[in-house]
Each structure stands twice: as structure tokens, then as C-alpha cells.
Structure 1
Amino acid sequence: MSGANDSPAVAGGPRVLLRAEGLVTWGAATFAFSLTGAPWWLYAALFFVPDVSFLAYLAGARAGAIAYNALHSHIGPAVLAAAGFALGMEEVLAVAAIWVAHIGFDRALGYGLKYASGFGDTHLGPVGRKAVAS
């Protein structure tokens, strides 16, 4: 399956599996957060912070995709979690868990990593208006 502008996207069973994986990631990261002892208001306050990356779309689709992907890849929270473990800082681990939970939530909903052709073109297939049009 291809998205708009022939952006490659996964389809069929693998797409279902990747979305299910996102759901499991969301649940596991939320459970991990609960083990840190951090207050739940922190989870609620920070859960959608990675979505500030949407603002980069004001500078164009390429800038938006770069910013979105930077905040919706597991690389950032993995590095943050490693720092939290190394420094023995549970607060940092809590933030990393929230970040991973957000990524899992988005992937479960079908919001994959973005292509520079537009917000609706993702590795999990088209989203938004592009999903309706395809």
C-alpha cells in the first residue's frame, strides 16, 4: 500500500500487528510509570507534550515531519531512561515512561512516523483526510 505521493506504508496484518504493539507499549509504559511512584497528575500534564511538534508544520511539511519524528521515535525516551537509570533519578524515568506511553498511544491509533510529503502520510498508512480519501 502507498500513501499520498507514493510514500510507502505497511498494510494488512503487519499494520494490525504494529498498532497492537503500540497498544501494548502504551499499557506497559503506563505500568512502568506507576512503579516510579510519581504522581498521576504528572502523567496527565506531560502525556501530550510530544504533540507540540505539530507546530513545526507551520514551517512546512518537511520541518514538521522531522520534528514530529524526533519526538515520536523511541530513541529520545530510551536515552532519557538510560540517563535516569545511570543517575538513579526516578523522576527522569517517570518522564521517559510517559513519553513512551504517548508514542504507544499514537501508534495504537494509527499515527505513525511522518513522511515529508505531508502530515497524513505515515509509515502506518494515511491518517486524517488522506485516510478518508484513500
Structure 2
Amino acid sequence: MPIKKAIRFGWYFTGDMGVLDEDGDLYVVGRVDDMIISGGENIHPLEVEDVLSAHPDVREVTIVGIPDSRWGQKVVAYIVPENKELTSEELDSYCSNSNKLANFKRPREYRFVDEIPKSPVGKILRRVLKETYQEDIKESV
């Protein structure tokens, strides 16, 4: 986040998103910068990750928004499978049949990887996945 955007009226805005529970406790649930806007709808990666991580053959999952000429951004799932026979079709069916995920939030693409890139403190590096995605697209053209 650029410094001018982060400091406003003497306050530092981190870009963190949070929710207050009924007791008034604040829980940080993600970053505004991670929000995916697809077809005018806001999609937070955590919502989609929660559904996919419940699949028994998914060891780890990360969701990123990739630029898309039609929708603005598309939802792309990076999956570390528990079972190498796991398919995109199976995961898409799993998401479709979930009553926790609206259709427009479903990933439009599934990419199977050996590991999710993380910082030394364990933070998922979504920007690395986005950059890798863009490089893959350039190479395939």
C-alpha cells in the first residue's frame, strides 16, 4: 500500500479487514487488497478457501484474483493436493454442491502445485502466484 494511501488525517490505515463478534471482539479476517472483484461482485478469498479446504483431498489452498478482460478479475484456486488423482472437475463439483459458496464465487480455474509460496513468517505470497500466472500466460501465447 503506497504511503500516501496508508496515512490519512494522521491515521495509519493498514488495509486489514475485520469483523466484530457479538461480544465486541475484533477478528482480523484478511486484507482489502486481497479482495477479488469479479463482474462487479466482491469476493474475499477466505470464503472460497474455507470451502475448498474442507475437501478431504485438499492439503492446502490459496485463492487469488487474476485480471480478466470479461469480468475484471477471475477467481483462480491454487491447490496442494493430498491425492495426486484430484481433478479440477471434482473440485468444481464440490464447490457447486456446497451450500456455503455462491456460484459467482466459484473458482474459474484450478491450478495444482507442489507448494504455496510463503514468506519466512508463513504469510502466503499471493503476488508471487499472480506474477507466475501472468508469466505462464505470456509463455503460452
Larger helix percent: 1
TM-score normalised by L of structure 2: 0.24
Instruction: Find the structure with the greater CA-based Rg.
Output: 2
More contact order relative to length (CA 8 Å, sep ≥ 6): 1
TM-score normalised by L of structure 1: 0.25
